[in-house]
């Protein structure tokens, strides 16, 4: 991986619904960097497998297929092998598939190579659960973006309501708390703040303020 190590990476990790995806996209757009939504990769593998009737349990076949997928993040759209799958990839069923394929070490290893391939000039903004700890441990700027479970539940609730989907705030909060516990306690790449990451608490911040903070932090690391 050394040959790309000079290309700057801004790694943004954080729990579910912390807003890291939105913030990361804005940072990438403002800096003219590439963008990687690592969480979507597991969904894309699950979706691609579904397209060809491949079992989510077939670790070897999934890993081989993962290496051949053509995945691009274009503005707010997710492209898989040239098709816009933004809506399809966000379905509940594919979300379930994502957690089933993510347990296979072979799939995680294949996706590690895929994630590294997003590191192209002039730079990359990557968001996920283990960007700073596992995927890009040499990232120049590491941010752990979080907010209280209550604030995150409210954001997710608003998001769903805006899309015209039925949502229950109490259920969302309960679901997030369970997910936080699961993500931080799992053995493979648990969700945790990297020792050298900057903690960014966004409960009281707007998207613009969070974006400004990260760009300034990246500027300071760059100057060092």
Q: Which of 171, 175, 177, 172 is nearest to 153 (CA)?
A: 172
> Which residues have C-beta within 8 Å of that of residue 204, sequence separation ≥ 6?
none
> Which residues have C-beta within 8 Å of that of residue 71, sequence separation ≥ 6?
41, 44, 78, 79, 80, 114
Assign 1 a pLDDT band (cuts: 50, 70, 90): very low
* CA 199 to chain centroid: 17
Residue 202 shares a structural domain with residue 162: yes
Tens of pLDDT, residues 36-51: 999 899 999 999 999 9
The residue segments making up the domain with residue 126 are: 9-33+122-224
Is 3 inside a domain boundary? no
Residue 127 shares a structural domain with residue 210: yes
Find tokens 């604030």 and name the residue.
151
Burial class of residue 88 (count of CB atoms within 10 Å of its CB; 0-12, 13-18, 19+): middle
Residue 108 shares a structural domain with residue 141: no
Average pLDDT over residues 14-35: 92
Residue 46 shares a structural domain with residue 138: no
Q: Which of 92, 120, 148 is the last residue of a domain?
A: 120
Overall domain count for the chain: 2
pLDDT at 9: 97
Higher pLDDT, 211 or 76: 211
Tens of pLDDT, residues 191-203: 778 889 999 999 9
Burial class of residue 83 (count of CB atoms within 10 Å of its CB; 0-12, 13-18, 19+): exposed
Residue 84 shares a structural domain with residue 134: no
The CATH number of whichever domain residue 77 belongs to comes to: 3.40.50.300
Tens of pLDDT, residues 143-161: 999 999 999 999 989 988 9
Higher pLDDT, 126 or 191: 126
Query: At CA 38, angle to CA 34 and CA 41, rounded to 5?
Result: 110
Question: With pLDDT > 90 as the criterion, what percentage of the chain qualifies?
Answer: 64
Is 55 inside a domain boundary? yes
Is 1 inside a domain boundary? no
Q: Which helix (H) or strand (E) holds 156?
A: helix 149-162
Q: Which helix (H) or strand (E) holds 51?
A: helix 38-51
Higher pLDDT, 180 or 169: 169
Average pLDDT over residues 53-71: 95
């Amino acid at each position: 991986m050394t040959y790309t190590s000079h290309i700057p990476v801004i790694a943004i990790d954080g729990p579910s619904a912390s807003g890291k995806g939105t913030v990361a996209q804005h940072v990438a757009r403002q800096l003219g960097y590439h963008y990687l939504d690592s969480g979507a990769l597991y969904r894309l593998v699950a979706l691609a497998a579904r397209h060809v009737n491949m079992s989510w349990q077939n670790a070897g076949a999934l890993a081989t297929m993962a290496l051949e997928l053509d995945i691009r993040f274009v503005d707010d759209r997710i492209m898989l092998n040239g098709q816009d799958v933004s809506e399809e990839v966000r379905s509940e069923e594919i979300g379930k598939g994502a957690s089933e394929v993510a347990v296979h070490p072979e799939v995680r290893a294949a996706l590690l190579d895929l994630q590294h391939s997003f590191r192209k000039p002039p730079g990359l903004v990557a968001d996920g659960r283990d960007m700073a700890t596992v995927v890009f441990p040499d990232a120049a700027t590491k941010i752990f973006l979080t907010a209280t479970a209550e604030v995150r539940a409210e954001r997710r609730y608003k998001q769903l309501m805006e899309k015209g989907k039925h949502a229950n705030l109490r259920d969302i909060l309960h679901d997030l708390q369970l997910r936080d516990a699961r993500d931080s306690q799992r053995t493979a790449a648990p969700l945790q703040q990297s020792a050298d990451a900057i903690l960014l608490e966004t409960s009281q911040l707007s998207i613009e303020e969070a974006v400004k903070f990260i760009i300034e932090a990246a500027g300071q690391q760059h100057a060092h």
